[in-house]
Structure formats: C-alpha cells, structure tokens
Structure 1
Amino acid sequence: MAEQRPKKKVVESTVETPAADASAPTWRPTAEAKSKATRFRIIAAILWALAIAGEAFAIFWVLRQDPIIMWLLIVMFVVIGALAIVGGQLWKKANDLDPASRKDPVRFFIQNQLGAIISIVAFLPLIILVFTNKNMTGGQKALAGIIGIVIAGAAVASNIDYSPASQEEYANQAGLVQDITGADKVYWTTSGSVYHLCQEASAVNKESADNTIHAGTIAQAQADGKARLTLQLPQELKECGYTDYVLPDNWQAVVKGEAPFVPSGEVAPAVEPTTDDSETPVAPAPSATN
C-alpha cells in the first residue's frame, strides 16, 4: 500500500486588498503589490542608468585609447549586458504586479517592452562605434563586435515580454473565478506561478518544501507573485466539484485578456429590428359602398 502523504496546511493571506468601487469595475493592484512594483521599477531604472553610464564610459574613454584596451572593452560589454538584463527582469516583475491597460496600446507596448528598448539603446551606438573605430585592427573589431552583438542579442531577447499581463486580463480572470466559484477566493503554493480554484486541486497538493497551501483573494495571489489563473481549468472544475459549470469556447482567450469576459447566463441585449416607413407597404383604404 502506498504511503499516504501528509495533508497540507492552508494559510489565509493577510495582504490588504483594494476596496471595491462600483463606479470603476476594473482591476486594481493591492497596496503591497503597487509598492513592490514601484520598488522594482526604481531599482531597474538605476541599473539601466548605470548601463548607459557604462556605455558612455566605453564610448568616450575606452574607444579613444590608442591602442585600445581590448580586455576592458569586453568587460564593459559584459557589465552593460548584466545591468540591462537584471534591470529588465525586475521591470517585467513590476509589470506583472502592476500591469498597464490595453486601452492605451502605445503605453502598453512601451511599458512592457521598455527593457528591450533600453537594451538596444545601451548597445547599438557602442557596437556601431566599435566597427567604425580607427584605432582598432580588423581582427579586434570582429572580436569585440561579435561579442557585443551576442551579449546585446541576449539582453534584448531576455527583456522582451512575450506575453505581457494587462489590467483587462486580470479583471477577466477575477470575473471568471467569481463566476465559477461565487467568491473572490483562490489557492496557490509558494513555488507555483499561478493560482487555482480550490484547495482540493491536484496542482496545489503536490509535495513542496513548506507543505503549505495559501488562500486569499485574487489580488492577494497576484501580490504574492502569482500572475494569472491556471490554464488547467477543465481539470480543476472536476477536482473542485464545479462539474455543472460550462466554460465558454474561448475561455483561454478570456484568461489571457484577449477576449472580454461575459458571465454565464448573461445574454447580450437583443437588437430591435429597424423599420423604414418609406419602404413599408400601406394597405389600401377600403372603398366606400353605395
């Protein structure tokens, strides 16, 4: 007989959630999530500023030496890359905690791809000046240029947000969870990256270091770094006892914020057919009888 695993303890989150506002039914981060996101963005900005300063040092001092100090130039590429990447990862974490709205596509793009943009700014001028430098031999240009391009490419690729979170995505997920369960309560683990419908879900009952299931509101789960709802919803509907709930055909698009959430049972208002009086046939008046 297989050994039965000890039952996990459930810990209720104590993070303060934002008060509901009926006049603005959009998603808002918790105060803790907002504070953490601001802190991450400040650190990222400092790291990016140091990366740009490193680029300026390489351009206005290293590349002006004759002969060029190759080891120092390569070190500067590595340092700039490290600063850009670490800053970009912190910026992406901040965007998960406090995302932008898709209603403003320009801001949404810039906020989510700023890490990649900064990486390009921190490398492109330096790489161009390496290839046009008169104090370097062809071999030195090739070596330094290739190293710079590889590190720059790694920084840009690492800092691109391929699936950025949005306020609409979070609002959709909150609406879907409450439509399924009837409550703003979800469950997650310390090591997991998503939140789940109930404490009976198999995903939260896997063995873990702290043997703990956390419970709280969706905003609390997101403040704890769980960016979205699980994509194992069909499985969890069965595990959590919501077998009567029918997911919409586009539920994955709803969870990802790509389609609007419509509560089950809600029907779009019917459109009244319009009538053009000019085309309505008029019945002839009855003729008078003598």
Structure 2
Amino acid sequence: MTEKRSSRSRAERGAEIAERETVEGGAWAASPEAKSTALTLRIVAAVLWTVAIAGELVTIFWVLRQDPLRMWLLIVMIVVIGAFALAGSLLWKKANRYDPASEKDRVRFFVQNQLGVIVTVIAFLPLIVLIFLNKDMDGKQKGIAGAVAIVVAALVGLAGADWDPPSVEQYGVETNVVEQLTGKNRVYYTKGGSVFHVCADVPDLRRSATILDGTVDQAHADGKDRLTKKWVSEAINNCGIPVERVDAVLGDVDDVTSTLDDDQFTTGSDGKPSVNTDVETPAPAGTPTPGR
C-alpha cells in the first residue's frame, strides 16, 4: 500500500510539473495545418519579393542606361517594385500570425518579423544610390526620381515592419490564460477589432452585430493582435468568472503581466501578481468601455 501511494504521489507530481510547463507557455506549438498555411504564404511572399528584386535589376541595368532616359518608365518601375515588395511583406506578416517565432532566439525572432523591411532595403537602396549617381540624369530628374523612390521605399518599409510581432511565448500565455479561466480554448472578437476577449458578454462586443469566435490561434490568424489587456476586469465583471480563479491564473501563468494593463493587477509581498480589488466591482450598466 505504501508503495502504491508513493507511486501515485510521483505521478501526481509529474502531472503538476507538466501542468506548470503548460501554464508557463512553453508547450505551445503551431498545428500542422497552421504550419502548412504559413509555409504557403511564405513561398508566395518569397516569389513576390524575387519579382521585386528582379524589377530592381531591370531598372538598374536597362532603364537607367537608356539614352535618352524615359522618366515615366523609371517612375513606373519604382512603383511596380514597391507593389511587389509590399504584397510580399504583408503575406509574410500574415504567415507569422500562423507560425510565430520564439523570443528565445533573438536573432531569428528579429529577422523573421522584420524580413519585409530587410527585403525593402535590398530592393530599393542600390537603386536609390544609382539614381543619384547617374551621370546621364540632370539634377531635376534625379530629384524627382530619387524622391519618388525614397517615398515608396519608406511607405513599403513602414507597412512591412511588424511593430508588435507575435511570439510562441505570447500565444502560449494567452492560450493558458483562456483555458484556465474558462476550461476551453475559445475566444471572442469582431471582424474590425484588434483584440479578442475571454467571453462574448463584454461591452466592446455587445455593440457589434456579428461576434466571431475561435481558438487563440484562429483569432491571431484573423488579424487580432492579442488578448485584451482588460481581461481581468472583463472576466470578473462580465464573464462571471470567480475572483479566486482569476487570482489563481495571475499567480500561476508565467509573464502574465505582459498581457495586462497596470490597473488590472497588484503585486503581493511574494512578488506574484493578484487581482486588483478595484476591478471586482462591476461597472454601471451602459458605461462605455475603451476599445482595448
């Protein structure tokens, strides 16, 4: 009997360790379907980027060497290069929503999320330099063509940059928060919103005619940046989740404060976050809530 209890105890400890690894966000991984979709998007993005760079080479070795130089053709080529570079960058960013990188590998995380900017620099910087160094163009032509190239490159680079890139760790924490709060991986959002919510009965969603739902992964794939940073107050005031459960999630999930606004939690003497008592009182009916 003693041996059986010991064995059961070890099994329980193993389950606790596995659960702890899960709630700390280390167990999340993209599904095979998500990886396949991401791969397809990345291949198409790579093809579009290849066309953009090929257009740059055509512009450098053919358009800029024509005598006389046809300005309209140069401008058209700059715009075409920008269009292909932009399309590739947007698809690449969408692929990263399906299959994000891990923040643990800082170099890969940066390159994977900012590759659109890197490709834009490759597609435009040599061309811009050669426009200003071209001996067959007068000052006015250089100024016009150079300005157009710089503006197009800047717009494409800004659109291709990922200012708030997703990560494996973020998806893991968000998934574990939602599952621990509600018992399932199901979140709610609108088509035009930028965040998703723990339940459908929150002020931000009540104002919408159509409420969408899906897993955390699906919400990100649909263009939602993150879990709302008001999830503590929404869980308690709108979703009917007990304060004790929310408090337990705050104490168990690793780096959970990265998903919260400062007014959503307090830090105890043990250094762990806990529910801010100010969020326990439901807001009066009809009170507008910021779209977060």
Answer whether TM exceeds 0.5 for this pair. Answer: yes
Aligned residues: 237
Give the drift of 1:85: 1.1
188-197 vs 164-173, which moves further = 188-197
Q: 1:109: which partner in 2? A: 110
Give the drift of 1:181: 2.4
Give the drift of 1:226: 3.6
Q: 1:239: which partner in 2? A: 238
User: Which has the larger share of helix?
Assistant: 2
1:254 & 1:193 partners in 2: Cα distance? 14
Percentage identity across aligned positions? 47
> Does the aligned pair in 2 maintain the 1:34–1:98 contact within 8 Å?
yes
1:71-110 pair list within 5 angstroms: 71-110=72-111
Deviations 1:131-172 (A, max 9, x none): 111111111111111111111111111111111000001001
Gaps of 5+ in 1: 1-20, 257-265, 269-290
1:40-189 pair list within 5 angstroms: 40-189=41-190
Residue identity opposite 2:124 in structure 1: F
Change (3 A) 1:74 1:102: same
1:267 & 1:182 partners in 2: Cα distance? 26
Output the aligned Cα RMSD.
Answer: 2.8
Q: 1:36: which partner in 2? A: 37
Deviations 1:208-247 (A, max 9, x none): 3xx3x34443334344444421223144121001251247
Give structure 1 regions of 4+ aligned residues with deviation exceeding 6 angstroms: 21-24
> Does the aligned pair in 1 maintain the 2:48–2:85 contact within 8 Å?
yes
Larger C-alpha radius of gyration, 1 or 2?
Answer: 1
2:227 & 2:259 partners in 1: Cα distance? 11
1:250-269 pair list within 5 angstroms: 251-254=256-259
> Does the aligned pair in 2 maintain the 1:97–1:227 contact within 8 Å?
no
Change (3 A) 1:232 1:255: closer
> Does the aligned pair in 2 maintain the 1:84–1:118 contact within 8 Å?
yes
Change (3 A) 1:80 1:97: same
Change (3 A) 1:254 1:232: closer
Change (3 A) 1:224 1:154: closer
Q: 1:277: which partner in 2? A: none
User: What's the TM-score once normalised by structure 2's chain length?
Assistant: 0.73
User: What's the TM-score once normalised by structure 1's chain length?
Assistant: 0.73
